[in-house]
Amino acid sequence: MNATSTGEYAGLRILTLHAHPDDESSKGAGSIARYRAGGAGTVLVCATGGEEGDILNPAMDRDEVRNNMAEVRHGELAEAARIIGYETVEMLGYRDSGMEDSDANKNPECFWQAPIDEAIDRFVGLLRQHRPHVLVTYSDDQQGYRHPDHLRVHDISLPAIERAGDASYRPELGEPWQVLKVYYSTWSRARMEAMHAKFAELGLESPFTKEWFDRPSQDHRISAKVDIGDYFHIRGEALRAHATQVDPASPFWFGLPDDAGREAYPYDDYILGQSVMPVAESEADLFEGVREYLAASPAPEPAEAER
């Protein structure tokens, strides 16, 4: 069924919080494209400007790019967001923190060094402004990749949701709003195995080396698998918009043709972080049950979130 013709997500809203420009493309781009095509409101909040990103595309390794990284990455983000289908892009306003113990990580303007309550409250204001029913953020378990900005995205997410729903908390930040469901985006072991097998089937060298499979698996926590088959190509198109960060010759991102990747694993995977509404043990849609819940409770009061 064509989502655009049905408008099945009209009136529903989803917001994603990401650490850097390009994270929105590598994580969940197909889901957002699907929901926007179905009429959902889509908002991206990007925590940092990505100033510390390495130039991985040789064609972009030029002085005018290196000397204007923040501006360049902001333009790349705008184009990627357009491709994916984000209606609105908001910047949380912090500098890229770089990796642990780097000079960038000590910069007082970076996300990692920001007062935690300040960062939380900036996000509270955006939640109250955009009023999403569903929020996608980063996991409480990031053993595989512990970038300070990714860790901080998780650190501010749940406290901001709680404060946003509390009518007594800083009313100057806007009318209270209760997010109904929170999901953590994740790259599943099942996806890596399927892609690895497809490389082998096609006689191609797989970028998924032993180190990838040595990372801890979170597959046992995955509770939602969103079919993105019709939008599988969106991730690659959006990633190419990040011309400084993504080498168009990269076998990791582009080693499989889109049709082969779609055949191997046409899903985005998510872990349920918390919910104030009943949630099925296994979901095929992040908005599953939301419309019914709203119909039964047209104006849900802010409530304590349940795991």
Per-residue pLDDT reduced to its tens digit, 230-252: 999 999 999 999 999 999 999 99
pLDDT band at 297 (very low <50, low <70, confident <90, very high): confident
Reported in sequence order, the residue ranges of 95-147 that DSSP labels E, i.e. its strands, are 134-137
pTM summary value: 0.92
Output phi, psi for 197, to 5 deg: -65, -35
Q: What is the DSSP string of 209-229?
A: -HHHHHSPP-GGGEEEEEE-G
pLDDT at 301 over 70: no
Would you state the pLDDT for residue 65? Answer: 86
pLDDT for the residue numbered 6: 58
Q: Encode pLDDT of 269-279 as tens digits.
A: 999 999 999 99
60, β-bridge pairs:
none
* pLDDT attached to residue 90: 98
Please give the average per-residue pLDDT across 16-30, as a whole number: 97
Tell me the domains of the chain and their CATH numbers: 3-188+219-296 (3.40.50.10320)
pLDDT at 191: 97
